[in-house]
Structure 1
Amino acid sequence: MAKVLVTGGSGFIAAHVMLRLLEEGHEVRATLRKLSRAEEVRAMLMTGGAAEAKVEFHAADLTADAGWAEAAAGVDYVMHVASPLPAAMAGTDAELVGPARDGTLRVLRAAREAGVKRVVVTSSFAAVGYGHVPGKPRYDETDWSNPDGPGVDAYVRSKTLAERAAWDFVGREGGGMELAAVNPVGVMGPALGTDLSASLDLVRTLLAGTLPATPRVYFGLVDVRDVAELHLRAMTEPAAAGERFLATAGDALSLHEMAQMLRAGLGAAARRVPRFEMPDFLVRLVALALPMARAAVPRLGIVRSASNEKAKRLLGWAPRPPEEALLATAESLIRFGVVKG
């Protein structure tokens, strides 16, 4: 059993990664920007089924050097899951790009100095399939987003430049330390608390009936439990060293298809879920007044699917169907009272 550092321990993916590590008997250490959240994280882990939330917490922030050397000291592996997220629907380059890239380099330097065997970076499909003319049937791990391409926002730039910086650092200055990257699409699955990620908030929006109809927007889905499993395999499997892995349960789905899945799987609890798809011209009209619709306009009709063949072939990874991930999300939101059942 190994000692593993997980950065950004209060996050949705990080909490599920810690759950899997604890299940496997590993010793877990996690970083938090504020140690005052430690009990909240322990409660999340207990909600997720941990028999004992035995986690050691260290204070460390992506924007500062303090605390990283102490957090990495004596660990065998690092799961670098932490990433800055915008407070609103769209952050700026200043809020996202610098902290993501520089924070990743801080973690990698601390890991190298501590003699860590391998770092697994939680990247994103955002670093794979954006900034290109749409049309590729499926993106794979050889693809990279163009940070200066059309329709690229600060979040996509942050994930792309942070992952690029990680590979460049390990190639030039890693000193034998290994690196692997996990690139999830939209991450769904059971919430462990009421602090929701952007993907889970989208399901809340559908269940609450906030949207009269769904815009013609598409994205891939993957269950957070499968993302956590892929992190563990990327941490220990010899074949994962030096590799990126797309985490997706299948081809991209439309919001309309997701709404239909919720209606079919939840019955009366999905009574507020929109039934119809909104014409593009109407989305553009509504976007003049609603920020949520405005964010959808650049994505209308664009289908970006990703291949999970590499993770299956090299690591034996087998994700749940997207319907299962989506329904697990909805059921957990109802259970926590985030939306009415």
Structure 2
Amino acid sequence: MTDTVLVTGLSGFIASHVAERLLGRGFAVRGTVRDKKKGQAIVDKLAVNGVDVTALELVEADLDSDAGWHDAVQDCRYIQHIASPFPLEAPSDREALVPAARAGTMRVLENGFGAGAERIVMTSSMVAMMGQKGRGSHMRVTEDDWSDPDWRPLTAYPVSKTRAELSAWAYVDAQPQTDRERLTTVCPGIVFGPDTYKNGGASLGLIKAMFEGEFPRVPKVAYPIIDVRDCAAIHVKAMTQKEAGGRRLMAAGETLWFQQIAEILAKAYPQAEKLPKSEFPNLMVRLVGLFDDRVKGVLPDLGIFHEADAAYVSSLTHVMPRPAKEAILAAAASLVANGDVKLPS
């Protein structure tokens, strides 16, 4: 009998690649979407890209509502909970995204474990690890690191991801019938890679903004990078690898400064004249951040080189993240091919 995996938020960037990988390995996939008609566009794109979608079904379920979740989890051996609020622009209220992220997580965990799911893999983020004061200029991020959601400089997205993941672990620890090993969280860094299904808008927004000249210069920040294909591979391995149970797995490879990302793009696309040429002074970024919520999100990380101590993830999953340059250029090539980035002729 074919095992069924529930993938929440199937139309998302990471989720669609997870679904592709699961289908290719013989699993049946049930994907949650807010609207079946819109979700069908992803199914069609999967098929166009050569994926056999005969074992893929869509169900409507929204993180903000109880409706649909009881039925969605039925007969699912595993659950990939990937859906989460991810705004293109950060709300000024730092707690604004928490209710939906936390309540949605609880709906998936309660219904999923209640229906007998063997393991739930939940997508968190490295922003749930890095956001703490006193990091110094070089932070080596470990599995045991947690962001402090009460630290005032943190903005809405990292606060929501941290509170949601903390709530997930608190939930399983409070359930005597639910072993901690039945939950695994995956914490990606910046996710680049090919926009195969034309749904990478939020994840690839930084690269698109660089091409379009939104950043004449870039802030001095550096984060670990992961290709979406490797991120998906880690998700799938986390689902079935016994030793991954109860762990927080960083999906993270090489770390680059934003300026290094711009330099890689400039070398590959010398005709792209709007790409950033240098870095903003930290003081200028802080001043702009007082008025621009998009900039405010990087203020806690200015001047800090975040390095992922993620060798344990490769040992557990046997996934070796590809070089950051490859992920960046794959993202850029997709944006150009899809018409999202217009290059001068």
Could you say which TM-score interval applies, normalised by the shorter chain? over 0.9
- Residue 332 of structure 2 corresponds to 330
Residue 249 of structure 1 deviates from its aligned partner by: 1.0
Could you list the runs of 5+ residues in structure 2 that have no partner in the other structure? Answer: none
- 2:282 pairs with 1:255: no
Identify if the C-alpha distance between structure 1 residues 96 and 292 changes in structure 2 by more than 3 Å, giving closer, same or farther.
closer
Letter in 2 for 1:339: V
Residue 49 of structure 1 deviates from its aligned partner by: 4.0
Choose 150-159 or 50-59, whichever is displaced more.
50-59
- 2:304 pairs with 1:264: no
Q: Deviations over 1:285-312 (max 9, x none)?
A: 5557755445444432122222211101
Give the length in aligned residue pairs: 339
Q: What is the distance in 1 between the residues matched to 2:172 and 2:296? A: 39
- After TM superposition, the structure 1 = structure 2 runs for residues 191-340 of structure 1, keeping only pairs within 5 Å, are 191-250=195-254, 252-268=255-271, 270-284=272-286, 286=288, 292-340=294-342
SS of 1:305's partner is strand
Instruction: Report if the CA contact (8 A) 1:85-1:91 is conserved.
Output: no
Letter in 2 for 1:173: Q
- Residue 24 of structure 1 corresponds to 25
Letter in 2 for 1:145: S
Choose 326-335 or 131-140, whichever is displaced more.
131-140
SS of 1:220's partner is strand
Identify if the C-alpha distance between structure 1 residues 69 and 294 changes in structure 2 by more than 3 Å, giving closer, same or farther.
closer
Normalising by structure 2, what TM-score? 0.91
Structure number with the higher helix fraction is 1
Instruction: Report if the CA contact (8 A) 1:188-1:221 is conserved.
Output: yes
- Residue 112 of structure 1 corresponds to 113
SS of 1:4's partner is strand
SS of 2:97's partner is helix
- After TM superposition, the structure 1 = structure 2 runs for residues 135-174 of structure 1, keeping only pairs within 5 Å, are 135=136, 137-173=139-175
Q: What is the distance in 1 between the residues matched to 2:5 and 2:234? A: 15
Residue 281 of structure 1 deviates from its aligned partner by: 3.5
SS of 1:256's partner is helix
Q: What is the distance in 2 between the residues matched to 1:91 and 1:288? A: 11
Choose 30-39 or 12-21, whichever is displaced more.
30-39
Choose 81-90 or 69-78, whichever is displaced more.
81-90
Choose 309-318 or 120-129, whichever is displaced more.
309-318
Q: Deviations over 1:231-252 (max 9, x none)?
A: 01100011111111011112x3
Q: What is the distance in 1 between the residues matched to 2:200 and 2:331? A: 10
Instruction: Report if the CA contact (8 A) 1:127-1:145 is conserved.
Output: yes
The percentage of aligned residue pairs carrying the same residue is 38
